[in-house]
Amino acid sequence: MRPTDGLLCVLALSLAACAQLSDRVVLLPGPDGRTGALSVTTATGEVVLSEPYTRVDVAGGELTRQTTSPGMVRDAYGRLLAMQPLRPRIFVVHFKPGKDVLRPDSQAVLANIVATLANFPAGEAIVIGHTDRMGSAADNMRLSLRRAAAVRELLVSAGVPREAISVVGRGELDPAVITGDEVAEPLNRRVEVKLR
């Protein structure tokens, strides 16, 4: 057999194998254990996956729903899953009313943020400040930026490089709890720290 004949044989085998390929979609839980939902649709139908470790196989346009398990996924896709980058993580710290001072219960969260960020190969943090709806929108925007900057400084003092931290203020625009104007809501006085 000439070298070019071998290449043609591999190509022919690859093309024959392609005709038999199917797609498989497995719904996995997120890092927090919660699972969303996913719709897989072809010309012949639709399957909605909403339970963790359910899957759908697509072959020739036909959908077949199946159930798998964490062990089966680990055995079949462990090497592939290990190559994925770490999923982003979100932490939330809360502040005292009208101030850029953390509540005491949020101090411990900072150590967890620093430890988690150390596990990200090219770790970066996006620090997003928020307020409740007490006071003017302009004042709240400034306060949200001060809160985000305060968290940045705490992270820098804990050893996180300043250039790895972005700061954003959202004021009262993205509340955790929707309220009317001039309502003091402790859950809205927060900074979200997104690690990726």
pTM confidence score? 0.63
pLDDT of residue 107: 85
For residues 46 and 69, what is the distance between their CA atoms, to the nearest angstrom? 22
146 closest CA partner among 123, 126, 170: 170
Average pLDDT for 183-190: 95
pLDDT tens, position by position, 9-61: 333 333 334 445 578 899 888 777 788 888 988 888 899 989 999 999 898 88
57 closest CA partner among 26, 23, 27, 28: 23
DSSP string, 133-182: SSS-HHHHHHHHHHHHHHHHHHHHHTT--GGGEEEEE-TTSS-SS---TT
Residue ranges and CATH numbers for the domains of the chain are: 21-82 (no CATH), 89-195 (3.30.1330.60)
pLDDT of residue 6: 37
pLDDT tens, position by position, 122-170: 778 999 999 999 999 999 999 999 999 999 999 999 888 999 999 999 9
pLDDT of residue 81: 85
pLDDT of residue 164: 92
Length of the chain: 196
pLDDT of residue 82: 84
Indicate if the alpha-carbon torsion angle 95, 190, 146, 175 is positive or negative.
negative
